Structure 1
Amino acid sequence: MSLIPTIGLPKDRAGQFIVDGVADGYEAFALVQAALEIAPDKPVLFVARDGQRLPAIVEALSFAAPGLPVLELPAWDCLPYDRVSPGSDAAAKRLDALTAMIALAKKPHRAVILTTANALLQRIPPADLVEAQTFHARPGNQIDMNVLVSRLETSGFERVPT
């Protein structure tokens, strides 16, 4: 039995549906139902109240729907205008999620995007800039050294003699 019709609030605009007031612990099951019933061929967005809830929801989703793609867009781990830069883990997770969302926009499919209210309020670079600056290096890839050096220098790195 689906609970989505009883807890969902359809919006005036086509393609929007808000589910609110879901009990803690049931969010993952509601997300799976939404992904399967409401948006079978496009992503579902879940906004958590804080970053401490995200890992629990990721774990619950892996139990409730092991094959469902999950993108996690965390907030920065520092305050705006703070003297401390964001941590590399948070930056890597955000960039990974942004590149995955760009690919998802080009080729929509069923997925769950998890984020927080704070993460939604933080500015992100334009999609075309993220796409142009993204570079994936994996073990076994053949990379031209001159292309790699040029790309790194363009990104702000400085080559120094050893």
Structure 2
Amino acid sequence: MNRLTKLMLFTVLAGLLTAGCSEPAVVKEAAPKLNKVYYLLDDADSSISEEIPERDQMHMEYSHYNDVGREVQITAEITNKPSYQVQFVMSNEADEVFTEPEVSLASSNEETSTYEVRFEVKEDYFAAHPDVEVVYDTAWEQSKDDQKFIILKSQTSISSADVY
């Protein structure tokens, strides 16, 4: 064999060995979307939500707040003019994946209020779905006359590899 053929054969064999020894890829499985978060006027009928003016829209961020990474905290800051009430609603399909969300008022001053939503991926979900990364979208929305306005939409994920 000439030198070029030997070099090509070595490269192909090295590639096959590397491919055979690599770790299996994490399977991405789409989890139910977390959505329908409405900010309602305090003095309004609780079944009717109203559009939030752009100047009153909030900042939202995610953070995992425990060692294993299953629990998620969403923080939203909104203005107090007018006064809004926060509601976080998960889709029915999310029940098998996520625990019931807890909404609390973290802080408030004359101008803004900061709300926290906490939930976690159920332990038995990861037990039944090893090597799965739960990818989900969260949107903060408000609606008026059957029109929806998404304030901020983001995507995050929790991997079972982070839990075990």
TM-score bin, normalised by smaller chain:
under 0.3
- If each structure's helix is expressed as a fraction of its own residues, which one has the higher value? 1
Normalization by structure 1: what TM-score? 0.19
Structure number with the bigger relative contact order (C-alpha 8 A, sep ≥ 6) is 2
- If each structure's strand is expressed as a fraction of its own residues, which one has the higher value? 2
- Larger Rg, first or second structure (1 or 2): 2
Normalization by structure 2: what TM-score? 0.19
